[in-house]
Amino acid sequence: MTGVTVQHPHPSTASAPGRARTPRRLVGLAGAVVLLFVLTGCLQLNVQMSVRKDDTVSGRILVAGDQLAESTDLDRLSPPSGLEQKVRITPYTADGFSGREIYFTQLTFAEVDTLAQAVDIEGARPYTMSFRRSGDTVAFTGSVDLSGIPEDRAESASTRVDLTFPNRITETNGSLGGGNSVSWTPAPGSITRMQASSDYPDPATRGFAVWMIVGVGAALLVSIGTVLAARTSRARSDRLVR
């Protein structure tokens, strides 16, 4: 699958427990995980996103660590307001790591913006992500801020962002894994900028073209039927005259 997005706040800006409201419920996860990681333990921050030909995005965000048992903020996570039917949050436990998996299904480009904006810490966003269409080109831009994690903890952090487009990627600053997939590995102590673009038909234009073809086809069938009916009627008239 694919994948939308890493949540890595600076430890000094983490929200205090109980202050987050519904649109900002994802804040607790990022703040608690990174703060705990800085103190001790290993961290996993992985994202997979996939863009479909209908301009929707599905994916998975994993935020987990091996020292998360003390974090009560994880239990308070909930989807952003308005996206409850498309965003699902589940507990994660594997190989000594525990945390949360955030699944999102068929988000529009605008809803991806909503999901990204819902994850903030006192107005600051540790990551950004956005999809924009211009004609037949869809461009992804984003950033991951791991400047709050010391560089000497790099070996204890596993961070990766994977993105798949429905067609070949035409431009990117990431590592191509195939014609239509790309990945980034954000490094602790830095801010990673991400960008990628791909060309494929606008689904709105494609739908209009299909209806045009159907309409023209229907008109041709009606015209042919009319001509055949006229010929049949004329043939019958000729036989009656004779």
- pLDDT (0 to 100) of residue 114: 87
- pLDDT (0 to 100) of residue 2: 41
- pLDDT (0 to 100) of residue 190: 87
E strand spans, 22-156: 43-51, 56-65, 87-94, 97-108, 127-134, 137-145
Using the Cα atoms of residue 166, residue 168, residue 172 and residue 177 in order, give the sign of their dihedral. positive
Mean pLDDT (10-residue bins), the chain, 242 residues? 40 39 49 54 86 96 72 68 92 86 95 78 65 96 84 80 97 94 92 96 68 53 58 58 56
φ, ψ at 152 (rounded to 5°): -75, -5
Using the Cα atoms of residue 165, residue 145, residue 118 and residue 43 in order, give the sign of their dihedral. positive
Q: Whole-prediction pTM value?
A: 0.71
Q: Which residues pair with 176 in a beta bridge?
A: 182
On whether the CB atoms of residues 102 and 55 are closer than 8 A, the answer is no
- pLDDT (0 to 100) of residue 81: 86
- pLDDT (0 to 100) of residue 72: 53
- pLDDT (0 to 100) of residue 180: 96
Edge-to-edge strands, sheet with 137-145: 127-134, 137-145, 191-199, 169-172
Edge-to-edge strands, sheet with 56-65: 87-94, 97-108, 56-65, 43-51, 157-164, 181-184, 175-178
